[in-house]
Chains A and B, each alone.
Chain A
Amino acid sequence: SAVISQKPSRDICQRGTSLTIQCQVDSQVTMMFWYRQQPGQSLTLIATANQGSEATYESGFVIDKFPISRPNLTFSTLTVSNMSPEDSSIYLCSVEDNTQGLYFGPGTRLTVT
């Protein structure tokens, strides 16, 4: 099973600023996924990050707001840009195992004031 770490684990940010979240996996993976979990709600897929190509964004999410980097097969970053209070969420990095489904990182709890 994949072990995923994320940094920071939590942060409190002022509106208008940006935060970059890092995700590290202990094995090489083709695709990494970024999810958002808003308070009391389910998970929503933001984008899929492939190494060596641009991320694929889901409806309602755009690259200018959530730029993603994927420099190698074990690492990815998600930036939340020009933050507003509506961006307060838990952001989760995940990878897929072909037989076991998704593995998730511990999440980054973001509060925007």
Chain B
Amino acid sequence: GNSVTQMEGPVTLSEEAFLTINCTYTATGYPSLFWYVQYPGEGLQLLLKATKADDKGSNKGFEATYRKETTSFHLEKGSVQVSDSAVYFCALSDTSGTYKYIFGTGTRLKVLA
């Protein structure tokens, strides 16, 4: 079945450091891929998405490229801020039309001033 694997956290970085959070997936067909962010005490928000191979999703300085050859969708940001501290979830959408989303276990990011 479909699955998403993301790197375990927590990830602790200093402000302005480079961020990478790894995400790999297993899926039949061609799923859409997403990154969601959950700030403390809030629900999940869509951060970015990509719907086909080689697409790059970007938002708020974050980027992720849909790599079919490596079945990966790694999240990157060149310079993190304290306000980026949150839990980040990688997800894919089932392409069978069942409207099912599969989420990774989440990676907690803590950015220190």
Q: What residues of chain A have their CB less than 8 Å away from a CB belonging to chain B? A: 4, 31, 33, 41-43, 45, 48, 92, 96, 100-107
Closest to A48 in B: B99
- Contact code string B29-54 (vs A, CB < 8 Å = 1, else 0): 00010101000001111100100000
A-B contact pairs, 18 of them (CB 8 A): A33-B99, A41-B105, A42-B103, A42-B104, A42-B106, A43-B44, A43-B89, A92-B44, A100-B49, A101-B32, A101-B93, A102-B34, A102-B36, A102-B44, A102-B46, A104-B43, A104-B44, A107-B42
Bound form: Cα–Cα A33–B49 in Å = 20
The main secondary structure of chain A at its interface with chain B is strand
Q: What is the size category of the interface that chain B forms with chain A? A: 10 to 19
Question: How many residue pairs bridge A and B at CB < 8 Å?
Answer: 44
Given that A42-B89, A42-B106, A43-B89 are contacting pairs, would A102 and B101 also be in contact in the complex, using a CB cutoff of 8 Å?
Answer: yes
Q: Which residues of the other chain, B, contact A31 by a CB distance below 8 angstroms?
A: 99
Closest to B93 in A: A101
The A-contacting residues of B in range 82-113, CB under 8 angstroms, are: 89, 91, 93, 99-101, 103-106
Contact B46 A103 (CB under 8 A): yes
Q: Which residues of the other chain, B, contact A106 by a CB distance below 8 angstroms?
A: 42-43
Bound form: Cα–Cα A4–B42 in Å = 12
Q: Which residues of the other chain, A, contact B32 by a CB distance below 8 angstroms?
A: 101
Bound form: Cα–Cα A45–B49 in Å = 20
